Structure 1
Amino acid sequence: MNKKIIPSLTMTVALSFFLVLTSCKNEVKDPVKKEVAKTVYANDVIPFFDHWKLILGDGSNAGIVNDFENKDFFFTENDGTSDWVVFKTPNGGDTHGTSNNTRTELAQVKKWYPKTANEKLTATLKVMNVSATGDARVAATHSVVVGQIHSADKHENEPLKIFYKKFPGHTKGSVFWHYEINTEGEDNSGRWDYSSAVWGNDFSVVGTEANTYPEEPKDGIALGEEFSYEVKVKDGMMTLKFTSEGHETKTFVKNLIESEYTTKADIPEQTQKLFVPIGQDGVERKEAYAGEGCFFKLGAYNQTNGKSPEINKNWCSGAETHGGNIEKQYQDGNYAEVWFKTGSISVSDNAVSNEGYFAKND
């Protein structure tokens, strides 16, 4: 009679342990999963891009730019604390419309009429770079426009441009804003700007020689220093508010539907110094911007270009452009770069499509 062999408990445990080890050795291990960094788009930082089309520094219209980036001109950065939307544009390259200057800038998809408007634009930003070269005697040199109101009609002039300007070797730059007259008549060649200082100097403070700079402003804004602006237009009146930590808050009010510059005698002294000597001595139509569609702009509109100052001593900087080579301009500081942390836009029911402006200028 055969005896059944019953393995002992010890043998059973040992066998089980061996099988587990063998099984583990034969398993194919999963490769280490690398975490792919999620792209942070501009609309993740400031969710208001349905209201804008983006003009890039190569003159092209990128349209409405949700979930969009362009590493040359428009992208996001984190400074260790916050995400920012970056607008970057060279001194020289293809431009949009009839402008002499490059821009990476948002343009509002709707336009509104100052008399019936109830519109608002806000932004918090810091300027990270302005052109390293340019003739210091030219008022626009070393500056960038970071916000605008633009007319979509007739002359397409600008009742508001917000500037930042800093000379090489200075720690602090200036913030100022411009009102451009809406010139009377069909000839717009006599148009001119009037500049108001916010912190630091206005547009008219220039160098005595091409590479000689005026005194640094004591109450200016440094590169990388945050400041904010608020623009309201209601019932024909434009109200501006500028704030920055450690600086006095400044407010301004300007009538956009009734001109104060309707005769030659009304031309202010600043304009007589800057614009009249080069033939820009026009007057404004009595109703200013009334009846014209206007719209907001926001970004980096580089005011430094490579055109000769002999053409226009206020706007033609004679700066380095490397023949339009963007990479070389970025390498040696010949560009404008502006970072925006927050922004908002309020659009009234009276606003209408601005497609006509884009059709004319794209």
Structure 2
Amino acid sequence: MFLQKTVVISSLFLLIICCTTIANESLTLSAERPPGHNFELIDWNISLPVDTNKDGQVDTIPAVYLEKGFEYKPYFYTADDGGMVFTAFVDGVKTSKNTKYTRSELREMLRRGDNSVKVKGVTKNNWVFSSVRGKTQRQAGGVDGRLDATLAVNNVTVTGKDYQIGRVIIGQIHAKDDEPARLYYRKLPNNNKGVVYLAHEPRKGDEQYYEFNGSRANDIDDPIDGIALDEKFSYSIDVKGDILTVTLSREGKEDITQVVNMKDSGYHKRDQYMYFKAGVYNQNNSGDPKDYVQATFYRLENSHTGYDY
């Protein structure tokens, strides 16, 4: 199935796949390399908001193709400064019937190209919280986890419904069905700067929101401590047991950290498995079809206890 998609992308959209693998030996990003040669992407795949073979599903590019040098403008490519660009328009193919929004987003795949390992479930492809007891930890690909990223949000939507304008998810922890962590950036059209905020979704009950550097409301004034488009910042999403710690970092400013106790959120059950996501998940489906979100990543590192890569 993927090979069919590759052929279609190649013929219609000038897909670029380099056949020579370049080791990620240098921390220096190069505009001459595709994303998979600037970043270690062998333990990720990517979903893009297109359906090139018309099978009714988004195109998902496996880890081995990312490592070989896959890129596909305007959705996923290397910027002039070497960063890894993700773009998602309001109009595009969704990942499932239950998904409202488009995305150009990496999904963590700890199996590192080993297709004998199942994608879903408590397998070596996913990780679990250390609050999960017994053999479940041994069955998983890792225990607990940390995602570190440095990025700049380049564009957000300016059209659509008030509550959707300007918002994009830039990092996640996804569980079996729910999302223990969703990290948002949001900037309103009349403001020069945007804000970062966190959503925690318990398996039962209402979502919990935590604001870092300003309000997530639909009608706020320009946030004093906000982040402008194209301004670099960093985040970490860290889990140890039932404790979720998310930190926002910016040059010249003190870190802002939010700690969430997930003890009562239901993720300590044996059927709950986790994976990180990073990129752009557009949170606007009511705007102009060509309106879009875009972010450029300059660092992306994932780590887990027992995952020795």
TM-score in same-fold range (> 0.5): yes
Q: Relative contact order, CA 8 A, sep 6+: which one is greater?
A: 1
Corresponding residue to 1:51 among 33, 43, 50? 43
Q: 1:14-43 CA distances to partner (integer Å, 9 max, x unpaired)?
A: xxxxxxxxxxxxxxxxxxxxxxx9941102
Compared CA separation, residues 298 and 78, structure 1 to 2 (3 A): same
Name 1:197's counterpart in structure 2: 211
Corresponding residue to 2:179 among 144, 158, 162? 158
The answer on whether the counterparts of 2:31 and 2:79 sit within 8 Å (CA) in structure 1 is: no
| CA distance in structure 1 between the aligned counterparts of 2:199 and 2:102, rounded to whole angstroms | 19
Q: 1:163-212 CA distances to partner (integer Å, 9 max, x unpaired)?
A: 000011211011111101212xxxxxxx642211111213xx113xxxxx
Q: 1:316-357 CA distances to partner (integer Å, 9 max, x unpaired)?
A: xxx112xxxxxxx1xxxx100000011111133379xxxxxx
The answer on whether the counterparts of 1:124 and 1:228 sit within 8 Å (CA) in structure 2 is: yes
| CA distance in structure 1 between the aligned counterparts of 2:267 and 2:71, rounded to whole angstroms | 38
| CA distance in structure 2 between the aligned counterparts of 1:85 and 1:241, rounded to whole angstroms | 21
Q: Secondary structure at 1:163's aligned position in 2?
A: strand
| CA distance in structure 2 between the aligned counterparts of 1:242 and 1:175, rounded to whole angstroms | 8
The answer on whether the counterparts of 1:90 and 1:302 sit within 8 Å (CA) in structure 2 is: yes
Compared CA separation, residues 132 and 44, structure 1 to 2 (3 A): same
Q: 1:144-166 CA distances to partner (integer Å, 9 max, x unpaired)?
A: 10000001x2xx11110010000
Q: CA deviation at 1:223?
A: 0.3
The answer on whether the counterparts of 1:57 and 1:89 sit within 8 Å (CA) in structure 2 is: yes
Name 2:296's counterpart in structure 1: 339
Compared CA separation, residues 237 and 68, structure 1 to 2 (3 A): same
Unaligned runs of 5+ in 2: 1-29, 51-57, 110-124, 133-142
Name 1:226's counterpart in structure 2: 232
The answer on whether the counterparts of 1:300 and 1:337 sit within 8 Å (CA) in structure 2 is: yes
Who wins on radius of gyration, i.e. which is larger? 1
The answer on whether the counterparts of 1:150 and 1:295 sit within 8 Å (CA) in structure 2 is: yes
Name 2:103's counterpart in structure 1: 103
TM-score, normalised to structure 1, is: 0.63
| CA distance in structure 1 between the aligned counterparts of 2:225 and 2:244, rounded to whole angstroms | 25
Q: Larger helix proportion, structure 1 or 2?
A: 1
CA RMSD of aligned residues (A): 2.0
Corresponding residue to 1:206 among 218, 221, 241? 218
The answer on whether the counterparts of 1:113 and 1:290 sit within 8 Å (CA) in structure 2 is: no
Name 2:167's counterpart in structure 1: 143
Corresponding residue to 1:72 among 50, 71, 74? 74
**Does residue 126 of structure 1 match 2:152?**
yes
Q: CA deviation at 1:236?
A: 2.6
Compared CA separation, residues 133 and 38, structure 1 to 2 (3 A): closer
The answer on whether the counterparts of 2:152 and 2:296 sit within 8 Å (CA) in structure 1 is: yes
Listed as ranges, the matches of 1:1-362 within 5 Å are: 39-46=32-39, 48-58=40-50, 59-64=58-63, 65-66=66-67, 67-79=69-81, 83-97=82-96, 98-109=98-109, 110-114=125-129, 115=131, 117-136=143-162, 138=163, 140-151=164-175, 153=176, 156-183=177-204, 192-202=206-216, 205-207=217-219, 214-256=220-262, 258-259=263-264, 287-291=266-270, 292-306=272-286, 319-321=287-289, 329=290, 334-349=291-306
Q: CA deviation at 1:92?
A: 1.7
Unaligned runs of 5+ in 1: 1-36, 184-190, 208-213, 260-283, 307-318, 322-328, 352-362
Compared CA separation, residues 237 and 167, structure 1 to 2 (3 A): same
Query: What amino acid does structure 1 have at the position aligned with 2:288?
Result: E
**Percent pairwise identity:** 29
| CA distance in structure 1 between the aligned counterparts of 2:161 and 2:252, rounded to whole angstroms | 31
Q: Secondary structure at 2:37's aligned position in 1?
A: helix
Moved over 4 A (4+): none
Query: What amino acid does structure 2 have at the position aligned with 1:298?
Result: A
| CA distance in structure 1 between the aligned counterparts of 2:72 and 2:222, rounded to whole angstroms | 35
The answer on whether the counterparts of 2:151 and 2:296 sit within 8 Å (CA) in structure 1 is: yes
Query: What amino acid does structure 2 have at the position aligned with 1:201?
Result: S
The answer on whether the counterparts of 1:112 and 1:293 sit within 8 Å (CA) in structure 2 is: yes
